Amino acid sequence: MASVSSQPQFRYTQPPSKVLHLRNLPWECTEEELIELGKPFGKVVNTKCNVGANRNQAFIEFADLNQAIAMISYYASSSEPAQDVAGNVLLVTIEGTDARLVSIDVLHLAHVKAISSMAALCIGRKSTCVFVSFLLSLTLPLSSLHFLPHLPIPNILMLMVVLAFPVFSAFGFVHKITTFEKTAGFQALVQFSDTETASSAKNALDGRSIPRYLLPENMGQCTLRITYSAHTDLSVKFQSHRSRDYTNPYLPVAPSAIDASGQNHGTLECVPCAKMQSEGVGIDGKKLEPESNVLLASIENMQYAVTLDVLHMVFSAFGPVQKIAMFDKNGGLQALIQYPDVQTAVVAKEALEGHCIYDGGFCKLHISYSRHTDLSIKVNNDRSKDYTIPNTPMVNPQPSLLGQQPHPMVGTAAHQYNGSQYPPTHQHPGMHQPSAGWGSAAPAIPQSMPMMNNHSYMPAGTMPQMGPGMMQMPGQGSMPPHIGTMPPTRPDQMQ
């Protein structure tokens, strides 16, 4: 696209310039489109279109030389066409000096595991469950499932989901993923069900940096560049560490992927099958209630037991839970959940308020800020627990919970969110600033957060017999229109 294109001799004989020359543009290219094209890389100060005999060339002038270089290096290493013709498939590129590390290795980090597997659940919700169910029906060893969540694909999904969640429909919004490494870095093609969903994801995420708390401490900034791919339907041959087809649970699992890891990482089980619903953030995004790092959760319509572990799992999705205290009040169950910081609590509250732990309207959460800032947990039991105390056995104090779970994956997955994943919080300093990378819009707009579906925690005997494809998503019908829920992508949120 730019004159300094894929010919190395040309690329390197030409001195860098703030002004880029573009050729082979669409005929009706406008200045506005040129600006859009250049905007992800910096400030476009001038454009000129309809250049050349064919009137299909143009100039883009950036405010800064580095911005021009950024655009050149991006497109020079991309096989994708530059023109942004909207489609249902996005090309996601992770930029940055350490971009490559974002792929597999990052996913082995403990604090990413939980989130990435969670995101996999969020995104694949229906299809992931189908997939897992299918694997179980084949009685594959559980170890074959362990590779799934810490693969790069869920990580990409995670990135896609953190900000863009509200705009995704509840089911099947990500159909397929392929990942690959190019000179541009780690890239993924992400296929959505339709162009609208893809556009929403793109708008929400393009130009954003991966939150610092999702990256290793020593890692440089990683920025997502998202363009539309010309693909409309990806061809995925295997479920593997490189590719997923969430629409086809019958696709064979690549043997290489099964052997990818022997570690007991999280699983793709449907534990916190997520659902996001936009919460009552005012126009100004502020709440009247004074914020606190301790949340007060009351549970309405408690048809099923809500245990300490269930609460811990639900609330750990947003950051390390330090303490939980459960008590009865007015005939209902309430709980105080303590995070290390206010931000995490805010995020959790926004995401969870008004949502049900179980599908079907059961165990609806009402969350407010507590006046407490530090809970005093006298003794660890089945109603209260201090997760920050070292040497406290982090084993599940309620094995009965696992016993009632309808399928064995839950037990494994539960460990993902158990205290062992979040030892004393100072070991996860990054988790304390969930908005560090994405900007303020990041976690503030989740429409709902990981919830447990009926598969996970409903007592087997009482659990309605639901096929994975029949999962109820209460509230889905009341979701606002996709575009309307989009957070504005403001330049100050980009990094």
CB-based contacts of 463-466 (< 8 A; 24+ apart in sequence): 463/406, 464/360
Structure tokens at 83: 């023109």
What is the x/- site pattern for DNA, positions 438-477, by CB under 7 A? Answer: ----------------------------------------
Query: CB-wise, 5 or 476, nearer to DNA?
Result: 5
| Per-residue contact string for residues 8-37; x = within reach of DNA by CB under 7 A | --x---x----x-x-xx-------------
Query: What does DSSP assign to residue 2?
Result: B
Least distance in angstroms from the C-beta of 225 to DNA: 23
Work out how close the CB of 258 gets to DNA at its nearest, in angstroms, rounded to a whole number. 44
Q: Kindly give the residue spans of alpha helices, DSSP state H, lying in 60-109.
A: 65-76
Nearer Cβ to DNA (53/283): 53
The rounded distance, in Å, linking the Cα atoms of 187 and 225 is 9
Which listed residue (12, 27, 53, 250) binds DNA by CB under 7 A? 53
Q: Of the ranges 56-64, 202-210, 315-323, 386-394, which one interacts with DNA (CB under 7 A)?
A: 56-64
What CA–CA distance (Å, rounded) separates 8 from 11? Answer: 5
Beta carbon of residue 213, minimum distance to DNA (angstroms, whole number): 42
Nearer to DNA, 2 or 120 (CB): 2
By beta-carbon proximity to DNA, the closer residue of 5 and 334 is 5
Cα gap 314→355, rounded to integer Å:
11
Which one, 55 or 490, has the nearer CB to DNA?
A: 55
Pick between residue 32 and residue 374 the one whose CB is nearest to DNA. 32
Among 52, 255, 285, 403, binds DNA (CB under 7 A): 52
Distance set, CA 311 to CA 202, 230, 292, 346, 491 (Å): 33, 44, 18, 16, 37
> Integer distance in angstroms from the first to the last C-alpha of the chain?
24
- Min dist CB 58 to DNA, Å, is 9
Sheet containing strand 57-62, strands side by side: 19-22, 57-62, 44-51
Stretch that binds DNA, among 6-14, 281-289, 397-405, 415-423 (CB under 7 A): 6-14
Q: Which is nearer to DNA, 57 or 267 (CB)?
A: 57
CA–CA dist 255, 430 (Å, integer): 34
Between 74 and 358, whose beta carbon lies closer to DNA?
Answer: 74
| Size of site (CB under 7 A) for DNA | 19
Burial-class residue 402 by CB neighbours within 10 Å (0-12, 13-18, 19+): middle
Q: How far is the C-alpha of 197 from the C-alpha of 187, rounded, in Å?
A: 19
CA distances (Å), origin 385, targets 145, 224, 392, 482 = 30, 39, 10, 39
Q: Which is nearer to DNA, 1 or 159 (CB)?
A: 1
Judged by CB under 7 A, the residue of 28, 32, 36, 54 near DNA is: 54
Tell whether residue 7 is a contact of DNA (CB under 7 A). Answer: yes
CB-nearer residue toward DNA: 60 or 274:
60
Exactly one of 29, 42, 57, 94 binds DNA (CB under 7 A); that residue is 57
Considering the complex, state which of residue 13 and residue 218 has its C-beta at the smaller distance from DNA: 13
Assess contact for 373 and 298: CB atoms under 8 A: no
Task: Convert residues 199-238 into a mask of x (bound to DNA by CB under 7 A) and - (unbound).
Answer: ----------------------------------------
CA separation for the pair 487, 444 (Å, rounded): 9
Among 3, 144, 193, 440, binds DNA (CB under 7 A): 3
Is residue 402 within a helix (H) or strand (E), and if so which, with residue range?
A: helix 399-404
The residues near 25 (Cβ < 8 Å, ≥ 6 apart) are 1, 49, 56, 57, 58, 83
CA distance 167 to 487: 9
From 7-15, 190-198, 288-296, 436-444, give the range in contact with DNA by CB under 7 A: 7-15
Nearest distance in Å: CB 344, DNA: 49
When the beta carbons of 77 and 420 are compared against DNA, the nearer one is 77
Show the binding pattern over residues 58-77: x = contacts DNA (CB under 7 A), - = does not.
-x-x----------------
**Token digits for 374?**
């530090």
**Residue 184, helix vs strand vs coil:** coil
CA distance 72 to 161: 28
DSSP H/E element including 413: helix 409-417
Shortest distance (Å) from residue 275 CB to DNA = 48
Phi, psi of 19 (to 5 degrees): -100, 125
CA 245 to chain centre: 17
Minimum CB separation from DNA for residue 7, in Å?
Answer: 5
Which segment (52-60, 95-103, 275-283, 448-456) binds DNA by CB under 7 A?
52-60
Q: How far is the CB of 70 from DNA (least distance, A)?
A: 18
Chain residues in the site for DNA (CB under 7 A) = 3, 5, 7, 10, 14, 19, 21, 23-24, 46, 48, 51-54, 56-57, 59, 61
